[in-house]
Amino acid sequence: MQLDASTALGHLPKTLRDELVEEFGKITRNYREHRWEAAELDGGRFCEIVYTILAGHLDGDSYPGRASKPARFKDACDALGQKPRTYSDSARLIIPRTLIGLYDVRNRRGVGHVGGEVNANHMDATFVLHTTQWVMAELVRMFHSTDIKTATTVVDALVDRTVPLLWEVGGVTRILKPAMSLADGTLLLLHASAQGLTDKSLAESLEQDRLSNYKRVLTRLHQSRQIEYNRQSGLAVISPLGVQEVEENILTSK
C-alpha cells in the first residue's frame, strides 16, 4: 500500500506534508539501496521538518510555509514540552525526545562531518529507518483526516514498507532477487560487508554447491578489478570500481 499523504496527513499544510513525505521516501529508498550514509543525513532533515510541524501544531495549528532548522535543535525540542497539557504528550514530549536522539545520530556519530570518529554504518542507518517509521506512524495517528480503520492500515503499511535486497537468515545472507547474476550477487554481498567475505561464505549465501566453479566468477571479478580476491586465504573484498558498479547499476536496476 502506498502512503496517501493527502488523507494520512490531511490536517497538515500541503507544503509541509510534501516535504515530510519526500524526506521519508529518501530515507526508505536509501536504506533499501544500502546507501547507509545518505539515509542518515536525510534523517537530520526529516527531524527539522517534523519539529516544524510539531511547533506549528502546538502554536494553535499556525504553520510556516516551509520547514526550517531551529538555532539549537535540542533546546527547541525541549521547549515543546512546556506547551499546554491540553495537547497530547506525543506531540509535546515523546516525539520531540525521539527527534533529539535521531538528530544526534546525524551530528555525533560521524555521519554529518568528514573525519568523524565513527563512520556511517548499517546499524546507525537501521536505527534511523525504524525511528523515522515510528515517527511517521505517530504523525499519521495525530493528523489523519480519514477514518480510524484506514489510518491504522496506513500506519501498518508504513512500518512494513521497506524490503531490502539482502535478507540475513540462519547465518547466511540471501538475495531477494533470484534472477540476479552470480557476478552481480557477489558484488552486492561484498558491498554490504566492510571487511570482505570468504569464497566459502559467498558460495553458501549464493547457494553454489561447487566451490571450484564459483571461484571462476571471483577470478573474473578480480581480473576486472571489481574485487580483490586472494585465492590462498579465500578472502574477497570489493574495490572502488565494484562499489561504483553496485551503486550506479545493480542497486538502481528494476
State the angle between helix axes of 36-58 and 95-108 in degrees (0 to 180), rounded to the nearest 10: 150
* 87 shares a domain with 70: yes
* 176 shares a domain with 152: no
> pLDDT tens, position by position, for the chain (254 residues)?
455 667 788 889 999 999 998 898 888 878 876 677 776 677 899 999 999 999 999 999 999 999 999 989 999 999 999 999 999 999 999 999 999 999 988 776 655 544 444 445 677 888 888 899 899 989 988 888 777 777 777 777 666 555 678 888 888 889 999 899 999 999 999 988 767 899 999 999 999 999 999 999 999 999 999 999 999 999 999 999 998 998 888 887 76
pLDDT at 192: 81
* 213 shares a domain with 120: no
**CATH number for the domain including 48?**
1.20.120
* 13 shares a domain with 81: yes
**Rounded Cα–Cα distance for residues 144 and 150 (Å):** 9
Q: Residue 134 has which C-alpha cell?
A: 515510528
* 216 shares a domain with 148: no
Domain-ending residue, one of 104, 133, 160: 160
Task: Starting at the earlier edge strand, list the strands of the sheet with 227-229.
Answer: 197-198, 235-238, 227-229
Domain-ending residue, one of 110, 135, 160: 160
Structural domain including 47 reads: 5-160
* 151 shares a domain with 137: yes
Q: Residue 135 has which C-alpha cell?
A: 515517527
**Rounded Cα–Cα distance for residues 152 and 74 (Å):** 30
**CATH number for the domain including 174?**
1.10.10.10
pLDDT at 56: 96
* 142 shares a domain with 203: no
* 151 shares a domain with 182: no
State the angle between helix axes of 122-143 and 95-108 in degrees (0 to 180), rounded to the nearest 10: 150
Q: How far is CA 98 from the centre of its chain?
A: 16
3-class SS of residue 247: helix
* Cβ-proximal residues to 162 (8 Å cutoff; 6+ apart), any chain: 28, 31, 32, 129, 133
* 191 shares a domain with 118: no
Domain-ending residue, one of 127, 160, 193: 160
* 188 shares a domain with 137: no
Q: Report phi then psi at 243, rounded to 5.
A: -60, -45
* 148 shares a domain with 222: no
Q: How many domains does the chain have?
A: 2
pLDDT at 116: 47
Which one, of 83, 82, 46, 40, lies nearest residue 67 by Cα?
A: 46
Q: Is pTM, for the whole model, over 0.85?
A: no
* 63 shares a domain with 20: yes
